[in-house]
Chain A
Amino acid sequence: MNERLLDVKNLKISFQNKKGTVPVVDGVDFHIDRREIIGIVGESGCGKSVTAMSLLQLNASNTVYGADSQILYEGEDLLKKSPKELRAIRGKEISVVFQDSLTGLDPVLPLRKIMVEAIRSHRNVSKREALQESISMLASVGIPAPEVRINEYAHQLSGGMRQRVMIALAMLHHSHLLIADEPTTALDVTIQDHILQLIKTVRDEADMSVLLITHDMGVVAEMTDRVYVMYAGHVVETGTTADIFEAPLHPYTKGLLKSIPRLDQPDNERLYSIPGSVPLPGTIRQGCRFCNRCPYATEKCRQQEPPAFRFSGKQVKCWQYESVMEEFL
């Protein structure tokens, strides 16, 4: 069996509207090995969710993928699959846990119907068997009295419970890859930790890989093996989680790490935040995409887009490292 589960090459995504196409993800490469947990971090609007949703092509219908983009899952290009083939992969091979579980679960159907439907979409089992399976799956994600809860509706559950249900739904077919799109953003801090631990547990039990999308560096540190830092549709830095946290290279990554509140910080000190905001898709001009927010920006940064420099397993898109690292691509 191949160690590499997913290999995304030169992923370009744009949205088509009346005025033309707006690029939102511009040449992203990443890969996931078996049993690996990788993180994609970045601010809102940097293209991380769009990237994750592109794996199952769950983006809006006006989404256009680059002609030379490839999403190789076990060697097969998902972008070339027919809707029918794609449907067979969704939920079975690759499943998703979404951010907002209140709007993410059908409000007018009881959990029982949602779960039985998800099982029977892929396996030809009786409703009764599917129901039994659903109940035991709810039990395994830590829902008390699952045989009662399964008859309830999404609005009758707490946020943490709903997120557990979402995970149970994603686990029904023992998928190989779990995409967790900001799974803890809508939750209390204590519940956040439970959910993250649960994701780790199911990963261990089912031998899954996890793609974790988040803007929370704390979550990244706790969960992931490797990290991709995204900014304005580019991967600006990637490396192992330890490397990224110990020796961040890109000014954006440094900024993100500086923005984490620390306990030893003086009470009266202002929390650091990166000045400015992510450029809107379609407004990006020449040069480095981060240069107008970067404290180290030079004239060269404003003129020329930096390539990805590679240095012992790390990659960074920043001119600062031109002299120290070999050029990649």
Chain B
Amino acid sequence: MKKFIIKRILISIPVFLGITLLVYVLASCAPGSPAEMLMGGEVNDLSEMTPEKYVEVEAKLGLDQPVIVQYGKWLLQLLQGNLGTSYRTKDAVLEMIMSRIGSTVLLTLSATCLSAVIAIVLGIMSAYKPYSLWDYISSAFSFIGASMPNFFIGMLLIYFFAVKVKILPSSGMYDSARDTSLPSLLKHMILPMTTLCFQQIGSILRQTRGSMLDVLGSDFIRTSRAQGVGEVLVVLRHGLRNALIPILTVLMGMLPFIISGAVITEQIFSWPGLGSLMVQSINSRDYPVIMGMTVFISAVVLLSNLLLDVAYGIADPRIRHSRNRS
């Protein structure tokens, strides 16, 4: 197992470098120079925006050097943990990410956990009595949830609970900057969390139902029933345990999303997380932030794939043993 993990980490290194190269090349190909953006801030009126000034700003940012040199410098900084500074706010990108990651993870992780619990319970119930009325209801519910765009669900929720009934706030994390109490936070979390759950429950539920249905029809389930094992044990210990791998895949696939944030949902509810930071940065062509976040998210994706591989081994002894042999 240790050998396997080390091998996987070593494979991740060239993949990560490839991603950084791609991110850098794409960013430098994008139209619109950041120098132009920046000049908007540095010069007071249009008459001062001279070509000389432009070259000066470009030189200050290092944009006059060949792309490959720029990439080398950027990568070197990156490996030292320096993701650069924002053109817009002049803050360090890493600090910007770190200051917002907490609120994003709080929202997305709690939404994902809640969705997982609800969806797995409902999925098991569907699979236990397939083609029953209950199964049809939960299928319909999950299809609607998965196919409705979340900006639409979000707006519906705001309309009913914040505009019409006025029981829940429509935006932000707290009532005011000074009031950072838990009840206030929870109240603000309900709507964005519900929006995210709507989307996530669908895919987890379908996967749970599908793989539980497969497993419950298998021979070893019949064997344990033939042994007189109780239904609860049969379904959870033998059923769910064996159905876990595809469910884990779906859940782990949500990990990058937990970190990077729900871009649209955060934007709708003005949630001060990474998703809304990404949108702001793209709007203002703040390349260091865009690149820094992309690299950061890529690293999280690589890490979650590694975690998923480890989790497979824990969940299924056959995978574990085949790895030990090779």
Contact = CB atoms under 8 A, between A and B. Distances in A.
A233 B316 CA distance: 40
Nearest to A90: B228
Interface in A83-118: 83, 87-92, 95-96, 98, 100, 103-110, 114, 117-118
Contacts of B237: 109, 117
A155 interface: yes
A103 B227 contact: no
B229 A105 contact: no
A108 B241 contact: yes
Contact of B228 (A91, A106, A107, A153): A91
B298 interface: no
A156 interface: yes
A298 interface: no
B315 A104 contact: no
B220 interface: yes
Contact of A118 (B229, B242, B321): B229
Contacts of B220: 103-107
B244 to A, nearest CB: 8
B316 A108 contact: yes
A153 B316 CA distance: 10
Contacts of B316: 107-108
Given A106-B242, A153-B317, A118 B227 contact: yes
Nearest to B217: A60
A105 B223 contact: yes
Contacts of B317: 107-108, 110, 153, 155
Given A153-B317, A153-B318, A155-B321, A92 B228 contact: yes
A117 B241 CA distance: 15
Instruction: Name the residue among B224, B225, B230, B233 with the largest chain A CB count within 10 angstroms.
Output: B224
Contact of B226 (A58, A103, A106): A58
Nearest to A87: B228
Given A98-B223, A109-B238, A117-B233, A103 B218 contact: yes
Nearest to A115: B227
Nearest to B225: A58
Interface residues of B, number: 23
A107 B316 CA distance: 8
A121 B230 contact: yes
Instruction: Name the residue among B315, B316, B317 with the largest chain A CB count within 10 angstroms.
Output: B317
A95 B227 contact: yes
A103 B219 contact: yes
Contacts of B241: 106, 108-109
B225 to A, nearest CB: 6
Interface in B135-163: none
A90 B225 CA distance: 7
A95 B229 contact: no
B222 interface: yes
Contacts of A13: none
Nearest to B241: A108
Contact of B219 (A98, A118, A122, A153): A98
A15 to B, nearest CB: 14
A172 to B, nearest CB: 8
Contacts of A153: 317-318, 321
A245 to B, nearest CB: 31
Given A109-B241, A153-B317, A153-B318, A104 B223 contact: yes
A169 B222 CA distance: 13
Given A153-B317, A155-B318, A156-B321, A106 B225 contact: no
A58 B228 CA distance: 11
Interface string B90-119: 000000000000000000000000000000
A311 to B, nearest CB: 37
Nearest to B128: A61
A58 B318 contact: no
Nearest to B316: A108
Contact of A58 (B222, B229, B230, B315): B222
Given A104-B219, A106-B220, A107-B220, 14 more contacts: A58-B226, A87-B228, A90-B227, A96-B226, A103-B219, A105-B220, A106-B224, A106-B242, A107-B316, A108-B242, A109-B241, A117-B227, A121-B230, A169-B223
18 contacts: A58-B226, A87-B230, A90-B225, A91-B228, A103-B220, A104-B220, A104-B223, A106-B241, A106-B242, A107-B316, A108-B242, A108-B315, A108-B318, A110-B317, A114-B224, A117-B224, A118-B227, A166-B223
Interface of B: 218-220, 222-231, 233, 237-238, 241-242, 315-318, 321
Interface of A: 56, 58, 83, 87-92, 95-96, 98, 100, 103-110, 114, 117-118, 121-122, 153, 155-156, 166, 169
